[in-house]
Structure 1
Amino acid sequence: MKKIFSIFVITLLIVSCTGNDKFVMRTSIGKVNKVMVVTKSSDWTGDVGKEIRNAFGELMVGLPQPEPILSVSQVAPNGFGSMMKVGRNILVIGESDKESFSVKHNVYAKPQTIVYIYAKDDAGMVKMFQKHKKEIIDIFIESDIKMTQSVFENTKLDDSKFKTLQNLGVSFTIHDKFRTVEDTGEFLWLRHHLTSGIAKTGSNNILIYSVPLEDETTVADSIVSVRNRIGKKYIPGSDPETMHMITEEAYTPHTFKTKVDGKNAFETRGKWEVKNDFMAGPFVNYTVVDKKNNRLVIFEGFTYAPSVNKRAFLFELEAIGRSMKIK
């Protein structure tokens, strides 16, 4: 019986790797926010590699420790074999008689995003990358967000169990490790206790609520005051009389226009702290303009994980926030 099973497994593996109509797409591998760059070693150590590392290595806004937007690794074209081709995010950059920029999905594995850049020489490659670098970064981040959301979908919390989500008419793809701290019908606070490594004393937190839409032109300017008001009302410190969550006063948050559920929205990244205490960390806030219901729907994720890097924790919250659907 064991021999039969072994033969079956080997046959299945062989068939899955062939190029005929029985081909089975392999599952991609790779850490979130990491890109493998396929280019010659001489290009990687020269101007081409420098430009890529500078762009991807730009520091993420709002984190207390310096962390890059994307981490990168490099492999030469002759080393880009079967094992490397299952990477999830890949940038291929090299020389060609014709300049080109293209994006393909699920070429060697699934899910997978590969960006191709070709130019006649190093100077051309640098120029092409500079032209498309923001688009490239957005492509890889969006790819990771969709992948993360698809993973969370498998263990998604039931929206109908939360009074606030039902009353607000909103839904999110939130994985089932989050537990309810408070659910008033108007305000929802969920918490995921982190259990790995030194971060096991920390937590990821989600806040969901809405406020009236008064003047759309002043929404961006009001985000900090709104979150401070909510923090004072709902997020106390160890002494509720004197301590509550506020926006860190020494750091000005960064606010960007974006789209969530096809609606105009603002993404704000910054640092939170507990007034009169030593607790602090990063947050990401999505304030969505819901004109139909004359309100702002607000999702905020904040992380408390002392002494460790927080990019991955905050990215998880970003993926959840961007899954918002308004009925």
Structure 2
Amino acid sequence: MKYLMIALTSLFFISCDEEVSREDLLPDASGEHGKILLVIEEGLWETSLQQNLHDQLDQNCKGPYLRPEPLFDYYRTGSTEMSHIDKLARLILKIKIDHDSTYQETAVTVKENYFARGQLFVVIKDSDLNRLNDYIKNDFDFVLDAYNAFEAEQLTKEFKGDPHKAIDEISQDNFGISISLPRTSILKASSEDFMMVKYERSQKQQYQTSGTSGYTYETFWIQEGILFWKEPLDSASYFEPYHIMARRDSVLKQNVPGDMDGSYMATEYDPYYKPEADKIVVDGQETIVVRGLWKYAGNPGAFAGGPFVQYSMINEKTNEIITVCGYVYAPKFSKREYIRQVEAMLSTIEMVE
């Protein structure tokens, strides 16, 4: 009783000082970004629904990937009773046949922060298996879009919550934009019209030892780089993908050398991997987005590369094209979640008033 009174008293004082929401009392979600926990009972999983769900989740990501990568990773629990650990998963998808009700159409419920903060819990249910399968086959994009949007929102919130203030100040002074990059990012180069920032950390890869049942671990460095450059908007034709890419190649050759003599960062233009451009709106600004692959050129012995995403927009105050390029170097690892992080960083760009 003594401990219960202490807990109740503490909650009372918290409530007096500030309003406490239900979310404030939840644990934080855990697990990897881009990984979905499937809660589907065994009997339902062994129907055609299993293949239909595989077909949706195993689709290739749209993006600049050297090798195909699935939209999401996923794993399943066969029990409808979720464990405490299950309830902390970042992304949860529960699919069930409801034998106790009669539905006119498949019901889909999207719940944020249900069991944990930073969690998206989607429930799909119906009383008719055929109609449920039709939804998975034909209308599941709604669920995929919800997960993708949620992951992007969570990462953006994370970067905005703890940004590198010094780098943001330089970005505002030299390029007229604000951007939220991780606080542990390192400024590698800075001038009036070019800046390079790197966000690096290590990750271990597990290998089975040849001829034994044991495992060994090897450590690799993961690098997410953010490059900034600008140029005068001397002609309206400059704000077109072909000119932006030509300028990109010139800037990279001059400013981003490789480790081997004569090597430098370049763009992969092989027809199978050629860059793709699109136009979107970021902070009210028309923005040209280019997705593609980077590589090293200038030395045949320089082997490295990876995906990049690049935003270009017009700073109307200075009449300049501002370009920010995020790239990933992560040998041995899937690139999908690193590109998701880079895109979240770029989404924080705002023009300075």
Aligned mate of 1:304, from 308, 317, 329: 329
Task: Determine helix, strand or coil for the equivalent of 2:202.
Answer: coil
Q: Is 1:46–2:56 an aligned residue pair?
A: no
CA deviations on 1:114-149 (whole Å, 9 max, x unpaired) are 223233423312322344433322221221222223
Native 8 Å contact 1:199 1:305 kept in 2: no
In the alignment, the residues of structure 1 paired with residue 109 and residue 243 of structure 2 have an alpha-carbon distance, to the nearest angstrom, of 40
Native 8 Å contact 1:205 1:301 kept in 2: yes
In the alignment, the residues of structure 2 paired with residue 299 and residue 310 of structure 1 have an alpha-carbon distance, to the nearest angstrom, of 19
Q: Is 1:92–2:112 an aligned residue pair?
A: no
Q: 1:253 corresponds to which residue?
A: 275
Amino acid aligned to 1:315: R
In the alignment, the residues of structure 2 paired with residue 297 and residue 132 of structure 1 have an alpha-carbon distance, to the nearest angstrom, of 38
Q: 1:18 corresponds to which residue?
A: none
Q: 1:225 corresponds to which residue?
A: 246
Q: 1:134 corresponds to which residue?
A: 141
In the alignment, the residues of structure 1 paired with residue 142 and residue 280 of structure 2 have an alpha-carbon distance, to the nearest angstrom, of 14
Q: How does 1:146-225 map to 2 (within 5 A)?
A: 146-159=153-166, 162-197=169-204, 198=218, 200-212=220-232, 214-215=235-236, 219-225=240-246
Amino acid aligned to 1:67: E
In the alignment, the residues of structure 2 paired with residue 86 and residue 219 of structure 1 have an alpha-carbon distance, to the nearest angstrom, of 45
Amino acid aligned to 2:226: I
In the alignment, the residues of structure 1 paired with residue 222 and residue 122 of structure 2 have an alpha-carbon distance, to the nearest angstrom, of 36
Q: 1:236 corresponds to which residue?
A: 257
Amino acid aligned to 1:25: L
Q: Is 1:319–2:344 an aligned residue pair?
A: yes
Q: What's the CA shift for 1:162?
A: 4.6
Q: Is 1:280–2:280 an aligned residue pair?
A: no
Q: What's the CA shift for 1:39?
A: 2.2
Native 8 Å contact 1:117 1:129 kept in 2: no
TM-score, L = length of structure 1: 0.82
In the alignment, the residues of structure 2 paired with residue 9 and residue 175 of structure 1 have an alpha-carbon distance, to the nearest angstrom, of 42
Q: Percent identity?
A: 21
Bigger Cα displacement from structure 2, 36-45 vs 290-299: 290-299
Q: Which runs of 5 or more structure 2 residues have no equivalent in the other structure?
A: 12-19, 205-217
Bigger Cα displacement from structure 2, 214-223 vs 43-52: 214-223
Aligned mate of 1:78, from 69, 77, 80: 80
TM-score, L = length of structure 2: 0.76
Residue-pair matches, total: 314
* Closer, same or farther: CA 236–22 of 1 in aligned 2, 3 Å: closer
In the alignment, the residues of structure 1 paired with residue 316 and residue 129 of structure 2 have an alpha-carbon distance, to the nearest angstrom, of 49
Larger radius of gyration: 2
In the alignment, the residues of structure 2 paired with residue 65 and residue 324 of structure 1 have an alpha-carbon distance, to the nearest angstrom, of 29
Bigger Cα displacement from structure 2, 212-221 vs 231-240: 212-221
Q: What's the CA shift for 1:154?
A: 4.5
Task: Determine helix, strand or coil for the equivalent of 1:301.
Answer: strand
Native 8 Å contact 1:172 1:323 kept in 2: yes
Bigger Cα displacement from structure 2, 42-51 vs 273-282: 42-51
Q: What's the CA shift for 1:172?
A: 1.5
Amino acid aligned to 1:227: R
Q: 2:34 corresponds to which residue?
A: 33
Native 8 Å contact 1:53 1:72 kept in 2: no
Bigger Cα displacement from structure 2, 244-253 vs 160-169: 160-169
Amino acid aligned to 2:31: G
Bigger Cα displacement from structure 2, 115-124 vs 158-167: 158-167
Q: 1:116 corresponds to which residue?
A: 123
Native 8 Å contact 2:65 2:307 kept in 1: yes
Amino acid aligned to 2:229: Y
Q: What's the CA shift for 1:189?
A: 0.5
Aligned mate of 2:68, from 63, 66, 69: 66
Task: Determine helix, strand or coil for the equivalent of 1:26.
Answer: coil
* Closer, same or farther: CA 307–76 of 1 in aligned 2, 3 Å: closer
Q: 2:110 corresponds to which residue?
A: 103
Task: Determine helix, strand or coil for the equivalent of 1:110.
Answer: coil
